[in-house]
Structure 1
Amino acid sequence: MMILNCDVGEGCLSDESVISFIGQANIACGVHAGDADVMANTVRIAKANAVQIGAHPSYNDRENFGRLPMTLTSEQIKQLIIEQVSSLQHIAKQQSVEVQYVKPHGALYNQMMQSEQVFSAIIDGLLHCHGSLALMILAHPNLQRYQEIAKKNGIVLILEAFADRAYDDAGYLLKRSEKGALLATPQAVQKQVKQLIENSTITTINGHVLPLQVDSICVHGDNPIAVAQIEQLAKLIK
């Protein structure tokens, strides 16, 4: 069964208005958005709704909301992951809950999917964090190498697709700078989610149909069109 997830703690929406409808909350770790108080409040809301808590670490680029690519060494990426995930883990522990998975944010997420080196550095970071953490990555027709690396390191992968983002013909998210990157209507969002649930496929921007194995579907917290219908999307998944 698929789960609905959403990026929260980013100041883009009222977290209380969406968390009750999702199964996984990707909580910003105070770098691209949020701070310790926001993180603590978001953890509290997620706990009250029995929602899984995930860390949503980013490049250190609050000015651009973590959406611009950066060139870091593997060690720098590893430390970035350790510091941000550990920060959320500390806050969660104070409320007697655990962080269960990690979903990189923005440009870090996209570069992870394009670079085995970045992916491996993130895996290394997880291995140096407390506890057993899963890693949420983009569902894609060709993930064999990533799956091999994760398995070798004992990391469980959570494969996600997006309710409100368009895909290119290679199976990656269409760049936000390109026309049509965000689905523009409620009908388009619901159609994409139904297709994922019923057929385990996605239709690209040019009309190609790609098979996808999906565990979780993301609704972006900064897309009002998608957030406004999150209750309906939750019903589709159930």
Structure 2
Amino acid sequence: MCGVTIVTTAGRPDAQSEALAQQAANALQCRFVSRQKRSVQKLSSHYDAHVIVAGKERYEYFAKGASAPFFFHPNSAAFRLKRIARGEREPFLDATVLRAGMSFLDCTLGIGSDSLVAAYVVGEQGSVTGLEANTNIAFIVKQGMYMYDTTELPLTACMRHIEVVATEAVAYLQQQPDNSVDVVYMDPMFEEVIEESTNFTALREAGEHITLSEQWVHEAKRVARQRVVLKAHYTSTWFTQYGFLQQKRESAKFHFGVWEKE
């Protein structure tokens, strides 16, 4: 669900970036194009395609028409984990009530910040699966979690514990048994743009904009063993429309909604 994609190297490729480019082309079954000193914009225009660039240390994804590339970075997860380790409150955990050994399904992985926090809490005895509808973004995040600086613990251990699956959420949920995952989590692209969240601009431009639906919520509630958690803009009507108890927070632009299985 991402259209025509080509893979190329950085502007001045070396053997490592060429190998990474070929790895991406093979994994995504798309065409490798030699850079030949051409700009990413020129390549995108010439081939009418999205472009994945293999650099020396990371992949970057240039979606057609996007103003900035998407690449993996742990983003807010790093300082969130430090706050949790200090015993500070984390609204995401207040909503999900995750504990060691639990299973967590993130229906909208994106850059993976919430899944990283979940992986830290559930530990090695638990499980975290992240779904991403855009195949290119799923590849970038999966590889980014694998390639990221291994000296940064416990962040690295959390990354290695997340299973990234390139699929659309409803299709995946339909294949799961009843009551098979402790917590199912949904964070669709907000109906309202939060201007302060500029670090998500590249993801918003490159990602799939799949809105919440009755079918999606129904399947999530069927699969969840304990609860379904929805993250949405604080003005969203989704909370009441789909039967979630909205956890309101002063000054927060997004709220969590919780549905608990009886």
* TM-score for both structures, normalised by structure 2: 0.28
Is the strand fraction higher in 1 or 2? 2
* TM-score for both structures, normalised by structure 1: 0.30
Higher Rg: 2
Return the structure number with greater relative CO, CA threshold 8 A, min gap 6: 1
Is the helix fraction higher in 1 or 2? 1
